[in-house]
């Protein structure tokens, strides 16, 4: 398998399906797409970052900038990153006060030790389990000591492969990672576990458990 196959697959789908995806999730965090527990963890992330500083944070796999908007509205200095130029165009038009960059989870466009935090909100679902170490290493590189990361993902199930993702006639595989595996990959690169949360599917579009991992960078 080519090293970039999973990245290329996700980019190709969202380049064609950006508008369809935005119509589904919207451009801001809302009760229709995130449960109360999910939103409470974003609030916890904000509080932890403000306690530790600095407040420059990244929305990784930002899509149309939903999480970035949420964090910026709560006083954090946000920059968004996504692999899809089409989704970034929506994000920039909708949230002109936030900076957005094209980039990958395993090659972040940030200097070493420059971020006080990062949220990866369902961004690793297109990363195969055997490739999780790469984005975790990048997270460790860009975090200041004590920086906070929040990783959200669909959890504890088999991969879901679609031959026609979002009506694009292109294939895409979503991975439902095991919580212990995500924690292990973060700990391998030095992160200290702060909390894990797993909730049952409760929203109409959910078919699997939803997991959240909060961790802090060493130092």
Cα(89)–Cα(47) distance, integer angstroms? 29
**pTM for the whole structure:** 0.95
Question: What pLDDT sits at residue 177?
Answer: 97
Relative to beta strand 99-102, strand 77-82 is parallel
Question: Which of 131, 132, 128 has its CA nearest to residue 174?
Answer: 128
Kindly list the distances between the CA atom of residue 74 and the CA atoms of 43, 46, 66, 78, 117, in Å, as whole numbers in the listed order: 9, 7, 13, 10, 14
Domain that holds residue 9: 5-216
CATH number, domain of 43, equals 3.40.50.150
Q: Per-residue pLDDT for the chain (219 aa), expressed as one digit of tens each?
A: 346 899 999 999 999 999 999 999 999 999 989 999 999 999 999 999 999 989 999 999 999 999 999 999 999 999 999 999 999 999 999 999 999 999 999 999 999 999 999 999 999 999 999 999 999 999 999 999 999 999 999 998 899 999 999 999 999 999 999 999 999 999 999 999 999 999 999 898 888 899 999 999 987
Tally the domains of the chain: 1
Question: What pLDDT sits at residue 3?
Answer: 61
Encode pLDDT of 29-83 as tens digits.
999 899 999 999 999 999 999 999 899 999 999 999 999 999 999 999 999 999 9
Question: What pLDDT sits at residue 1?
Answer: 33
């Amino acid at each position: 398998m080519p090293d970039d196959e999973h990245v290329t697959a996700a980019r190709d789908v969202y380049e064609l399906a950006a508008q369809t995806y935005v119509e589904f999730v919207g451009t801001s965090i809302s009760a229709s797409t995130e449960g109360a527990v999910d939103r409470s963890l974003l609030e916890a992330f904000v509080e932890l970052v403000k306690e530790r500083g600095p407040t420059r944070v990244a929305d990784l796999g930002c899509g149309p900038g939903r999480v970035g908007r949420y964090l910026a509205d709560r006083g954090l200095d946000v920059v968004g990153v996504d692999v899809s130029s089409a989704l970034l165009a929506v994000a920039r038009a909708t949230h002109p006060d936030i900076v957005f960059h094209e980039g990958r989870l395993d090659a972040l466009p940030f200097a070493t030790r420059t971020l006080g935090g990062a949220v990866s909100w369902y961004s690793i679902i297109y990363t195969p389990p055997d490739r999780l170490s790469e984005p975790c290493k990048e997270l460790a590189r860009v975090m200041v000591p004590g920086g906070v990361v929040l990783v959200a993902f669909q959890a504890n199930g088999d991969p879901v492969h679609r031959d026609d993702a979002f009506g694009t006639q292109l294939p895409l595989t979503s991975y439902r990672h095991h919580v212990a595996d995500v924690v292990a990959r973060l700990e391998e690169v030095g992160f200290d576990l702060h909390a894990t949360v797993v909730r049952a599917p409760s929203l109409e579009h959910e078919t699997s458990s939803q997991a959240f991992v909060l961790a802090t960078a060493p130092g």
